[in-house]
Amino acid sequence: MADQEPIKTQLRLSPELHQRMTAAAKESGRSMNAEIVHRLEGSLGVALANEPGAPRAVALLSAIAEHAETLRALGRELGKLDEKEIAAGFVERGGAPPRRRAR
């Protein structure tokens, strides 16, 4: 759209929605038009790669997803260990060592 003139379009909003859009535009530092365009592009699946910090956010989300999977795998392994230890009498449920019986 860099070489093309934007098309002017009228839009009818309820007073409540207009108020919410005005507040959102103010909060984001955008004009009302820029806020509406931004939200329409987002809802139509336009990549937000041009947003400041987007590459870093994607990298962080990817790292978090990898760590979450590692934690889930470790949790599954820990669950297996606990059951084996309980079965062998090394620990009681809850991780406490087994109580020794008085002689």
Name the residue ranges covered by the structural domains of the chain: 12-46, 49-103
The number of C-alpha atoms within 13 Å of 93 and in the hemisphere containing its C-beta is 0
Per-residue pLDDT tens over the stretch 24-52: 999 999 999 999 988 888 777 555 666 77
Per-residue pLDDT tens over the stretch 59-100: 888 888 888 888 888 888 877 766 666 666 666 655 555 565
Query: How distant, in Å, are the alpha carbons of 7, 44, 79 from that of 1?
Result: 10, 16, 56
pTM for this one?
0.42
